Structure 1
Amino acid sequence: MSVLWVDASSGASGDMLLGALVGAGVPVEVMQSAIDAVAPEPIALRVEAVRRGGLAATRVHVDVAESHHHRTWRDVRALLGDADLAVAVFQRLAVAEATVHGTTPDEVHFHEVGALDAIADVVGVCAGFAHLGATSVTVSPVAVGSGTIQAAHGTLPVPPPAVAELLRGVPSYAGDVPMELCTPTGAALLTTLATGWGPQPAMSVEEIGVGAGGRDPDGHANVVRLFVGGGFEAGSARTSTADTTGAGPLLLECNVDDLDPRVWPAVIAALLEAGASDAWLTPILMKKGRPAHTLSALVDGEHATGVRTAIFQQTSTIGLREQPLTKHALEREFASVDVGGQTISVKLARHDGTVVNAQPEYDDVAGAAAVLDRPVADVLAEATALARQFLIGTVL
């Protein structure tokens, strides 16, 4: 498992990320195989060593036959099949394009974004990151550029509307050159793959990949850098009160006002199955007085991608809020007590070596109550009283 840092201070695109992955040691065959599994027409990846702004870099060319087939999100989703991470990336693109063009995601015609080379970029990059087995992916603030570009709909400002929409809530800035630095594909990949945003985290760097864009403007290194390594903890030993690993917890949230409430228990179960350490609902009142719920999930970096995918698959939301958290967790262990011949587990929590909390496990309590034909409240009260023996200084 790896800790990754993506330096997007010079922008980002799909082909730049492909190059960074190859430069960091991901075999091009890994990405080619994933592309071959979904591509409707032949697509070939070709690797070239180049220089950008005086830096040695890797460029990955995506060679395809000329195609004028404009695919909708529905078309692309059918091609991708069960490639969940790639589906999540393209779903972000579809939602962003639908938002800026005032339509629905299923009716979006991707134009350049839906071309074969973009499908190759998304599928190849997702396969490369999966190959690295990242426990966390931190991305620097993203340089987006400035000025204008020519697109299918005419002259557009930089950042293009879809990029601006994709980077909502994400640290970004113009950068130092008047050109498009971040493409919609690059923005969708970064926002899907990232488990956090900021400078390089604490890590022991083992590989550095430098991925090149197609242009080499004067005074600007048109590259993405990918640092791959292992995380380490601050200090010689992990403390008992704080999570100090490089992959801190994340809080994922979305507001939903159009889901049948009978579905929520299955949604919560699916998020926990996908790796969330906790998931919960909060009733809220949205604009125009609409009742709704905020769905929240607490997850570590290793499982963030799976939980994001589960939220999009299990609910009707089309966007997520995400923020890193600092979590303070006590050391935990289990003991047991006996109630009427039934063993009930007790969760103990220690602070600086001292037991400060002792709670019977409710499932065990309910099971014992059923066997003993006693009210659950009575068994819980007896188990709680017995559990006090584990608290330091308690007199029984």
Structure 2
Amino acid sequence: MIAYVDMFSGISGDMTLGAFIDLGVPVEFLKEKLSLVLTGFQLKTTLVYKNHLKATDLVVDVIDQGRPSRNYKEIKALIKNSSLPDYVKRNSLAAFKKIAQAESHIHGQDIEIVHFHEIGGIDSIVDIIGSFLCVDYLGIKKVYASSIPMGSGSVTCSHGKIPVPVPATVAILKDIPVRESDATTEIVTPTGAAIISTLASSFGHMPEMIMKKVGYGSGKKETGSRLPNLLRIMLGDPLADEKYHNTVVQKQVIHVVKTNVDDMSPEILGFLMETLFENKALDVCYVPIQMKKNRPGIQIEIICSKHDLDNIVHILLTQSTSIGVRHHECDRCFLLREKAFIETSFGKLQVKKITNPDNSIRFVPEYDVAKTIAREKNMPLKDVYTQILIDASFHDPLHLTGTDVEYKTLK
């Protein structure tokens, strides 16, 4: 089972828990499991309709209103000393660590003693731990998510009035795709940001799946948006396409960047390629083309991650003669590859270990390693490659257990 979290109106802890309950997680199950961690609360759910969409509105009714907010050290002990499932413990600790690091940096306090204020109360602890309990209950193996819409305006907290998105949310969502929205208030809370940044393996388009269930969790605010204040979570089975069902075939959303030039020196093109790779370009290629006025030119094509797109575009416009670039989002599939060491005729060498779609293993020599040997041994590079491949064929791929593993030639 996989899940897609569609944050068309943002995300908060109660919206997330409400959507999971709407998907079929029993409230009594949550009460029982959460009682292993803390007491002093009740869970109340109501069916609501927003823009004619039925959703579950969850309220965490805190009985002990006088209990002060906990600090990170107290919350860690609370979770670690509980009898929660390991998956729930691990992810709950990871989510709270994100919040603690954000608050620690913002307020200049030691991470262990920083108080969480609004997000250190019982309701937020219930939302975070409860969300991971729901994932475990529903048997969700992988979570995907949309990019995250951000609100605007300001909110009032214990420190006074602060801008939206609030600083803690901004810090937690570092390196995660966000977008603007027409909401005029906070629609992504630190709790919601911590939950989804811990849960989701990727952000972007909905994955291909066979839809099984849809759940809606209701937010409390009027956001000023044209969209209802709801969170939608879709459950389904990944497509049973054997070609891509095998986990060794990886999928990734990338960006393709292109530009055409007809007035660049080959030396500068060489420097440009080196600079792009140094700045996390995944691949760079130059293609001969015929441009306007019958000029021979070069098409520069780069693939990169979304996080690195702006920097790659800046380098291209700075280091080349291009006055404009084009880019688009693209899906790519690639084989699982790892670093490994094998014994060869030239000693122990680093190689790439690649897992084929049928789970067979092949080894590929590293160019820089082979080049060094070719120069040291005064051998043709092609002969070094061939010898490494021959030596690699004697290795038993079943001995591989992970990256940086040493292989012994089977005699």
TM value normalised by structure 1: 0.63
* Residue among 202, 225, 235 paired with 1:228: 235
Give the letter aligned to residue 61 of structure 2. Answer: D
In 2 relative to 1, CA 74–325 (structure 1 residues): closer, same or farther, beyond 3 Å? Answer: farther
Rounded to whole Å, the distance in 2 between the matches of 1:353 and 1:115 is 48
Asked if 1:192 corresponds to 2:198, the answer is yes
Match of 2:57? 59
User: Residues 139-170 of structure 1, C-alpha deviation per residue, up to 9 Å, x if partnerless?
Assistant: 11111200111011111000000000000000
Rounded to whole Å, the distance in 2 between the matches of 1:165 and 1:11 is 16
Which stretch has the larger CA shift, 80-89 or 206-215? 80-89
Which stretch has the larger CA shift, 170-179 or 146-155? 170-179
In 2 relative to 1, CA 198–355 (structure 1 residues): closer, same or farther, beyond 3 Å? Answer: closer
Match of 1:333? none
Give the letter aligned to residue 60 of structure 1. Answer: L
Q: CA deviation at 1:352?
A: 9.0
Match of 1:47? 45
Within 5 Å, which residues of 2 pair with 1:1-396? 2-39=1-38, 41-65=39-63, 66-81=65-80, 82=82, 83-217=89-223, 219-233=226-240, 236-238=241-243, 243-244=248-249, 248=251, 326-329=333-336, 358-361=393-396, 380=409, 383=411
- Matched residue pairs, number? 275
Q: Work out the percentage of aligned pairs sharing the same amino acid.
A: 30
Match of 1:296? none
In 2 relative to 1, CA 352–102 (structure 1 residues): closer, same or farther, beyond 3 Å? Answer: closer
Give the letter aligned to residue 121 of structure 1. Answer: D
Give the letter aligned to residue 51 of structure 1. Answer: Y
Q: Are the counterparts in 1 of residues 96 and 194 from structure 2 also a CA contact under 8 Å?
A: yes
3-state SS of paired residue (2:55): strand
In 2 relative to 1, CA 167–217 (structure 1 residues): closer, same or farther, beyond 3 Å? Answer: closer
In 2 relative to 1, CA 328–31 (structure 1 residues): closer, same or farther, beyond 3 Å? Answer: same
Give the letter aligned to residue 112 of structure 2. Answer: D
Q: CA deviation at 1:107?
A: 1.8
Structure of higher CA gyration radius: 2
3-state SS of paired residue (2:243): coil
In 2 relative to 1, CA 88–354 (structure 1 residues): closer, same or farther, beyond 3 Å? Answer: closer
User: Residues 189-241 of structure 1, C-alpha deviation per residue, up to 9 Å, x if partnerless?
Assistant: 000111111121111110100000112455331111000110015xx541699
Rounded to whole Å, the distance in 1 between the matches of 2:79 and 2:191 is 16
Q: CA deviation at 1:121?
A: 0.7
Q: CA deviation at 1:29?
A: 2.2
In 2 relative to 1, CA 56–73 (structure 1 residues): closer, same or farther, beyond 3 Å? Answer: same
TM value normalised by structure 2: 0.60
Q: Are the counterparts in 2 of residues 24 and 207 from structure 1 also a CA contact under 8 Å?
A: yes
Which stretch has the larger CA shift, 57-66 or 185-194? 57-66
Rounded to whole Å, the distance in 1 between the matches of 2:43 and 2:229 is 20
